[in-house]
Amino acid sequence: MLPTELIDLMNKLGVFPCVLGTTDKEGSIHMTFITWVYPVSEKILRFALSSGSKSAKNLQETGKACFMFFSPEKALACYGSVQMVLERIEEVKFPVSVFEMRVDRVENNLFPGATITGIIPFAHTGDLEKMVELDNAVIEAMRSV
Ligand SMILES: Cc1cc2nc3c(=O)[nH]c(=O)nc-3n(C[C@H](O)[C@H](O)[C@H](O)COP(=O)(O)O)c2cc1C
């Protein structure tokens, strides 16, 4: 299950950088980088994707996903089953859908003699005000589904 320290950090930051792995029905794997994730509990994780993305299409096809989360002293692979809980966030100008994962398994990828010292570094570029506005609209939608 998702550790409390990770849940607390995700909630504190609002957006959280992570890697999402999905597969289509032929078993072809797809990886992408996202930041719109919201932990509802230690077993339930919501996240938002551009509706036309390959990841969103794969999830509609197979309903299976894996997240890779990096945070101080943690490298966690979280596997689970996924369903769409909101087809489109009305407040956002382009199509964004909200998905929910039931976490079935969490694997700790740490290795003796090494650790993770932070989260994946990322920054918004361009119009910061608009990006924050977009992030807030998506976060609010993920919280209130
Ligand atoms: C900093 C950053 C944050 C991103 N966050 C998200 C996100 O939360 N949801 C999303 O659908 N795409 C996000 N993207 C874009 C995805 O990485 C990806 O390019 C796009 O959604 C296409 O997804 P696909 O690979 O599944 O087709 C983000 C990209 C960057 C650089």
Read off the pLDDT of residues 70-85 as tens digits, 9 standing for 90 and up. 999 999 999 999 999 9
Mutate-to-test residue for ligand 1 from 53, 66, 124, highest number of ligand atoms within 8 A of CB: 53
pLDDT number for residue 75: 98
* CATH number, residue 34: 2.30.110.10
Each residue's pLDDT tens digit, 27-46: 999 999 999 999 999 999 99
- For 62, other C-beta atoms within 10 Å of its C-beta total 16
Each residue's pLDDT tens digit, 125-137: 999 999 999 999 9
User: For 56-72, what is the mean pLDDT?
Assistant: 98
The domain in which residue 38 lies consists of: 4-144
Each residue's pLDDT tens digit, 85-144: 999 999 999 999 999 999 999 999 999 999 999 999 999 999 999 999 999 999 999 999
- For ligand 1, what atom is nearest to the CA of residue 48? 9
- Ligand 1, atom 1: nearest CA belongs to which residue? 122
Number of separate domains in the chain = 1
Residue 30, C-beta contacts closer than 8 angstroms, at least 6 positions apart:
21, 22, 23, 24, 54, 55, 58
pLDDT number for residue 104: 98
**Residues contacting ligand 1 via CB (< 6 Å):** 32-36, 48-50, 53-55, 122
CA–CA distances in Å: residue 5 to residues 1, 2, 74: 12, 9, 10
User: For 19-31, what is the mean pLDDT?
Assistant: 98
Q: Is 127 left (phi over 0), alpha (psi -120 to 50) or beta?
A: beta
Distance between Cα 104 and ligand 1 center (Å):
24
Residue 116, C-beta contacts closer than 8 angstroms, at least 6 positions apart:
70, 71, 72, 73, 74, 75, 110
